Amino acid sequence: MSVLPPGSTIGILGGGQLGRMLAMAAARLGLKCHIYSDTSGPAFDVAAKSTVGAYEDLAAVRRFAEGVDVVTYEFENVPCETARAAEAVTPVRPGVKALEVAQDRLVEKQFIAALGIPVAPFADIDSDASLASAAATLGLPAILKTRRLGYDGKGQVRLASTTGLTTARSEIHGAPAILEGMVGFEIEISVLVVRGIDGEMCFYDVPHNTHAHGILDTSSVPAPISACARARAEEMAGRIAAALGYVGVLAVEMFYCGETAPEPLIINEIAPRVHNSGHWTTDACAVSQFENHIRAVAGWPLGATTRHSDAVMTNLIGADVEAWQRLAAEPAAGLHLYGKHEPRPGRKMGHITRLKTKSQG
């Protein structure tokens, strides 16, 4: 059955804060969630049921899938074998293809480029010789990135000159990698597209994203780009979602290079899940990215993605969360804490979204 009625159970692979917010959104719609994760996490506190198990324990994954009506995931590094094991039992949305593409930066770049969508110049790196050759071709500065894993600035080495080539691969432990040419951009943006099982697509407003120490710091809507650029960004993201046969919320991160640039928009990377840069939708929209992801995977009609307010979402990293009392007292702000007990440096502990009257035009 494609459309799940209230009372159905959605299985979520992953127990982090994104799973937590998905489970909370599902509860609003009268749906239950069962979390499967290799360790207890923030999602366990709010789910109807939770299971701790290894992702590599495919028999346990199949048992989990037998007890739910559909499976989704809250992070892009769920092993593909895990998703396939679940898919043999019940629908998995988004499908395994999205994981296969997003988990390997080389595959991802090749997939997007094959659609005729601009990406940063890149080269496959598997040896010191290939790194030297790519550096000569693409030019420096450039960024060496592991093909797999790595997020929030991890698994990356910035190369400013040829003197760094001799140690760059050792810094990522010789892992297969890509070298990515630098892009001259004005701001970073992202597009959050939600696609239903029938192919319908809706888009949230485009946020302007800023980073600190490789971690998302703020996402602000509306982004300072033209209506034409916004429409083009949505068109690019929609083509990627359609090519993946995607169901749910997909985040497409982009560089905005300016209206007069040869390529005003260049894709950075995709995330096949609800995304940190869309957290503002919980407070600034009637239907958040989390609810729309649940709606999509359950086969429900998609909710409106329009926003009623301008917003600035700020991540609370590490010790930032210790100011929770002051933050909770702010007017016109929504405070979201993830229930994590140890505020380590670089750890996302929560976020706050500050609202103001929606700008006109």
What stretches of 81-203 adopt beta strand conformation (E)? 122-125, 142-146, 156-159, 177-181, 187-195, 201-203
Q: What mean pLDDT is predicted for residues 204-222?
A: 96
More confident of the two residues 211 and 154? 211
Is 3.30.429.10 the CATH classification of the domain at 187-357?
no
- Residue pair 248/260 in contact (Cβ under 8 Å)? The answer is no
Q: What is the pLDDT of residues 295-345, one digit of tens each?
A: 999 999 999 999 999 999 999 999 999 999 999 999 999 999 999 999 999
What homologous superfamily is domain 121-181 in, according to CATH? Answer: ATP-grasp fold, A domain (3.30.1490.20)
Residue 290 pLDDT greater than 90, yes or no: yes
pLDDT value, residue 162 = 67
Q: Is the pLDDT of residue 153 over 60?
A: no
- What's residue 138's pLDDT? 85
**pLDDT for 239 beyond 70:** yes
* Predicted pLDDT of residue 116: 96
Q: Identify the band that residue 193 occupies on the pLDDT scale cut at 50, 70 and 90.
A: very high
Amino acid at 268: N
pLDDT for residue 120: 92
| Domain map (residue ranges) of the chain | 9-92, 121-181, 187-357
Taking residues 200-219, what's their average pLDDT? 96
Phi then psi for 351, rounded to 5 degrees? -155, 160
- Report pLDDT for 154: 64
Spatial distance between the Cα atoms of 69 and 281, rounded to a whole number of angstroms = 26
- What is the model's pLDDT at position 252? 98
Question: Which SS3 state, helix, strand or coil, does residue 273 take?
Answer: coil
d(CA 187, CA 198) in angstroms, rounded, equals 33
**Is the model's pLDDT at 16 over the cut of 60?**
yes
The confidence score (pLDDT) of residue 352 equals 98
In the prediction, which pLDDT does 44 show?
Answer: 98
Query: Does residue 175 contact residue 146 with C-beta atoms inside 8 Å?
Result: yes
**The pLDDT of residue 1 is above 60:** no
DSSP 8-state secondary structure symbol assigned to residue 323? G
Tell me, yes or no, if the two domains 9-92 and 187-357 fold the same way: no
Q: How confident is the model at residue 164 (pLDDT cuts 50, 70, 90)?
A: low
Q: How far is CA 187 from the centre of its chain?
A: 18
Q: Is the pLDDT of residue 152 over 60?
A: no
Rounded to whole angstroms, how far apart are CA atoms 270 and 262?
A: 22
Calculate the alpha carbon distances from 358 to 1, 221, 222 in Å: 40, 9, 9
Third-level CATH fold of 9-92: Rossmann fold (3.40.50)
Q: Which tens digits make up the pLDDT trace of 89-100?
A: 999 999 999 999
pLDDT over threshold 80, residue 244: yes
Mean pLDDT (whole number) for 348-361: 87
Q: What is the mean pLDDT of residues 32-41?
A: 97
pTM: 0.94
- Predicted pLDDT at 150: 65
- Name the pLDDT band for 163 (thresholds 50, 70, 90): low
Which has the minimum average pLDDT: 43-47, 68-72, 140-144, 285-289? 140-144
**Other CB atoms within 10 A of residue 75 CB:** 17
Q: To the nearest whole number, what is the mean pLDDT of the chain?
A: 94
Looking from the CA of 230 toward its CB, the CA atoms found within 13 Å total 13
- Would you say residue 354 has pLDDT above 90? yes
Task: Outline where DSSP puts E strands in the chain.
Answer: 9-13, 32-37, 49-52, 70-73, 122-125, 142-146, 156-159, 177-181, 187-195, 201-203, 208-212, 215-221, 248-256, 265-271, 309-317, 333-337, 348-357
pLDDT interval class at 26 (50, 70, 90): very high
Q: Cis before residue 6, ω within 30 degrees of 0?
A: no
Average pLDDT over residues 126-142: 86
Contact indicator for 203, 234 with CB cutoff of 8 Å: yes
Burial class (CB in 10 A: 0-12, 13-18, 19+), 30: exposed
Listed range (68-82, 138-152, 154-168, 269-283) with the worst mean pLDDT: 154-168
CA distance 48 to 32: 6
